[in-house]
Structure 1
Amino acid sequence: MESVFEAQSKLVPEMVELMMERYRLLKLVKAAGPVGRRTLGEVSNMTEREIRTMLDHLRDQRLINISKTGTSITNEGIKVLHALETTIDNLSRLSLLAKKLEDFLGIRSVKVVDGSTENSSLGIEAAKQFMNEIGDGKTVAVTGGTSIALIPKYIKSSMLQKDLLFIAARGGVGEEIGLQANVIAASFAEACDSSYKAFYYPEALGEEAHKAFLKDPAILKMIDLYNTTDCVLHGIGDAQTMAKLRNSSMEEQQLLLEKGAKGESFGYYFDRSGKEVQRLRTVGIQTEQLQEVPLIIAVAGGKNKAEAILSYMASAPKQTILVTDESAANEMLRLLTECVK
């Protein structure tokens, strides 16, 4: 069950930033008090108006005293600092980790959650990003997989615009039924009180049958939808793990190893540099189409996924928001730092 803090941060996302600002100011008062307003402004890099507003609030809550000698912390203020210390330290640590990754990856944003993929943190954060960013009447393509399947249960339809259309980012080809993109698209539609459009791609089509399949009017309509997709939610898989899940032959798995495949997404396999080394014969959103999608949210976590995430991110669209966890983020930074040395 999610904590009260997690629930509050979803309901009022700006609360976290405001809380951290007030916490830092209260900590400065404790360290330097009695201290003047001008000094606090210089140290905290806030305007005089911002300082005055925050100090007034802290005083109203009896966390500080303001006198002629300056501002000082109260016993109640000290208790509040102690109570929030662990939470704020975690937020600050994760924010710093995210910023470092953003600088390395060159994408729009990285969100790092505490914990691992064994809990709900990834789903909660991805749902929050989606609810904050999506607008009315948008077309949303979703992939299959465990990480994306986590998200719908944390979406609140009351916080969303309506008339969304969810589609599978590519035709289903043999994943576990509950993790197929069509099923997950339906779950999103239910959570958002919206609609979805199923898309099925028959397994094991030969090249000629695949070409014939592409001429079907229903498939052409789906391809048109991919050209006008407004948002993509996708996972990132480990190349070898995905090959096994798809029952690839030993020869195919060996070929992926020889080509240096590390990660997989949208049916594409990528090497460490982000180069596409192999792809499935299926129908779905193409990597070149992703470049035109305004909102992309990638979700993947776990230390063992670090190389896979980096392989995809090496050529990911710059507008991507990556939602990952601390173990994956730390391992990615370690690998990236080694490359720089």
Structure 2
Amino acid sequence: MQQRYLVLKLIQTSGPIGRRPLADTAGLSERETRSVVEALRDQQLIRVAKEGATITTDGESVLENLGPLVELQYGKNVLAKRIKSYFSIQDVHIVKGDSSEPGGSNELLGTEAASVFANRIGNGRIVAVTGGSTMAAIPKHLSCYPGAEDTVFIPARGGVGDNIGQQANVIAATFAHACNASYKSLYYPESLSEEAHAIFLREPTARKMLELYETADCLLHGIGDAKKMAAMRDSDEEEQQLLDSRSAKGEAFGYYFNGAGETVHHLRTVGIQTEHLKRIPLVLAVAGGSEKAEAILSYLRGATKQTVLITDEGAAREIVNLLAND
């Protein structure tokens, strides 16, 4: 039922559409797609011609009448599958609600992220975490998992702003305390000159942390709106104008991305770099809220295949809407 609904919905929005592009968009094999298309044709819900499949009046009626029920039952799965397939990432988990709405929170995201992390970390032992309110909501829902005592949590980069409870060092320590693991801290000022940065890199503490970044097994990070993150960091007017001129939309671990997923600016810091992502086996990106959809989309366009996105319905639906309007 889920497959038939998804294929019928895609034919409605994209028809006439051929079987191969339909399979790619739906995330199904060509064999599965052929079976579904034949069933829908036999039920006279679609027409199949040389130019592709189109929906019939009966098909429109089925979507109109069954849509609310199917969306209620399978809506999140459909959204997750579409996003996963479109960006070719490892997985997508969607929780209820919209954290951008009044009364919305990151608690459901935190609960889901904790569960996904504990189930997927396996033998991973070096875990880098970023700062931010979404990351801060995860540790309270995390309990010990097999081998947790051998895990080392490290900050993916320095803290942001004056809220010490949302800085990466503190959150890494909170993760460690939640599951009886260990952690290491890295104290790096939010802004250093190029010369001071070069000197800092020669410090033993920095060199040891760089070695850990090279061998990280997992990165847990949030995604922020570019403008809001620049303001939170008290970026000077010149930097904010630079981000505007380069159409920055999203930010993650100190990198700013435009709508095409390209890096348009990044902070000079010691921490996870984009080149590390290709080598990290598990990347958990956690962000929700319809207001963040554009920022999340900018990150996903350049995301590595081992990325697992954990988001909410508000963000997921808006991401799909943005993709439909591309």
Q: Closer, same or farther in 2 for the Cα pair 1:137/1:163, shift >3 Å? A: farther
Which residue in the other structure is 2:98 paired with? 116
Distance in 2 (CA, whole Å) between partners of 1:164 and 1:88 is: 41
Distance in 1 (CA, whole Å) between partners of 2:277 and 2:265 is: 18
| Higher Cα Rg, which structure | 1
Q: Secondary structure at the match of 2:150?
A: coil
Give runs of aligned pairs for residues 186-201 of structure 1, distance below 5 A. 186-201=173-188
CA contact (8 A) 1:156 1:191 kept: yes
Match for 2:76 among 94, 101, 120? 94
CA contact (8 A) 2:148 2:180 kept: no
Distance in 2 (CA, whole Å) between partners of 1:255 and 1:296 is: 28
Distance in 2 (CA, whole Å) between partners of 1:235 and 1:175 is: 18
Q: Do structure 1's residue 277 and structure 2's residue 259 form an aligned pair? A: no
Q: Do structure 1's residue 266 and structure 2's residue 253 form an aligned pair? A: yes
CA contact (8 A) 2:188 2:269 kept: yes
Give runs of aligned pairs for residues 129-278 of structure 1, distance below 5 A. 129-136=116-123, 138-157=125-144, 161-278=148-265
Cα deviation code 1:100-132 (max 9, x no counterpart) = 111112111111111133232111111110010
Q: Closer, same or farther in 2 for the Cα pair 1:189/1:296, shift >3 Å? A: same
Q: Secondary structure at the match of 1:262?
A: strand
Match for 2:89 among 85, 107, 116? 107
Distance in 2 (CA, whole Å) between partners of 1:148 and 1:306 is: 18
CA contact (8 A) 1:137 1:163 kept: no
Distance in 1 (CA, whole Å) between partners of 2:249 and 2:123 is: 36
Residue type of the alignment partner of 1:112: I
Residue type of the alignment partner of 1:246: R
Q: State the 1:180 CA deviation.
A: 0.2
Q: State the 1:203 CA deviation.
A: 3.4
Distance in 1 (CA, whole Å) between partners of 2:278 and 2:123 is: 21
- If the length of structure 1 is used for normalisation, what is the TM-score? 0.72
Residue type of the alignment partner of 1:244: A
Which residue in the other structure is 2:313 paired with? 326
Cα deviation code 1:138-193 (max 9, x no counterpart) = 11000001111111011121566431100000123535211000000011001111
Residue type of the alignment partner of 2:152: L
Distance in 1 (CA, whole Å) between partners of 2:205 and 2:138 is: 28
Mark the runs of 5 or more structure 1 residues left unpaired by the alignment.
1-19, 21-44, 46-85
Distance in 1 (CA, whole Å) between partners of 2:309 and 2:73 is: 17
Mark the runs of 5 or more structure 2 residues left unpaired by the alignment.
3-34, 36-67
Distance in 2 (CA, whole Å) between partners of 1:88 and 1:235 is: 31
Percent identity between matched residues is 54
Residue type of the alignment partner of 2:180: D
Q: State the 1:91 CA deviation.
A: 5.0
CA contact (8 A) 1:135 1:161 kept: no
Residue type of the alignment partner of 1:150: A
- If the length of structure 2 is used for normalisation, what is the TM-score? 0.75
RMSD of aligned Cα (Å): 2.0
CA contact (8 A) 1:302 1:328 kept: yes
Cα deviation code 1:198-229 (max 9, x no counterpart) = 11102331111111111111101100000000
Q: State the 1:90 CA deviation.
A: 3.9
Cα deviation code 1:259-290 (max 9, x no counterpart) = 00000011111100111111111110110111
Distance in 2 (CA, whole Å) between partners of 1:134 and 1:243 is: 32
Residue type of the alignment partner of 1:111: H
